[in-house]
Structure 1
């Protein structure tokens, strides 16, 4: 087990033997002495040179640690600044999407309706649930069972743009075609191929 006063320099090559007798070897990416966590980068197990494996090792469960090559202690590189507004927007969008999905589950919407809702959300942000119905941009309503013939104008909504209605119909049609081809490819449907005689 690594001593609490031991420090691993970033860039050093280290070999660890875990409590499962597994030998891990790699370059030190990070080390936190307070929680005894060592992060190692190793060659990818799939053999692709453009990839690497990352191991996070709790040194409390390591029986042996050897430094194979010590890297010179150098100042840490400066990290790029984060775009906090972009991160908070992304987090808010993710939270909103999860809340909309929870609303769908609570109102007893079928899995098909939930998938269609998420598919529409990928291209249009203004999508919400009104009971079991999907309302897009306050103009188009999609009622259960969420088929093409269930797409219509939202009567008490905004003035309907013909392009919006036709676009949503195309999205619903494509969604159902994709779902049908998925079910055929997964073996839940049977696609028969017959030889052609001449």
Structure 2
């Protein structure tokens, strides 16, 4: 083989003979002239004939090939269809959502809180917003503090709600959220 390897188009059928005496033939999947590598899709060795559905992907180092033959050249399409433009606003929205979701998951974790309490914390953050809900340490227990006005102590039921400042609308809202959450869990 010459030092300058031929260029292969994707989809061409190629037959190679390696310096070890192996004959490899298959369809070109990728080719890199810089590193002299050819990736081919070869038929599986377990038979199957024309109805064969499985293939082996083989990487061939062209530096170790004695003979390379292009059996069938792939004909590129006359008109290449342009890919659809990337929807950047949608990607940004997905990224923002994923970041918020992961941040919420990280903030909802507390080593002294039960999984039930962590799930309630996530629900309250979705309801009241991220900065409004914080963990409040109480020795080996941890409580959920809502807007610095309401505290829910462990085990995080409606009986464990304490009000630091009386706000009737907030009290009713927190009670309903906790009650609905508890009823769905049990």
- Relative to the length of structure 2, the TM-score reads 0.45
TM-score, structure 1 as length reference: 0.43
**Higher Rg:** 2
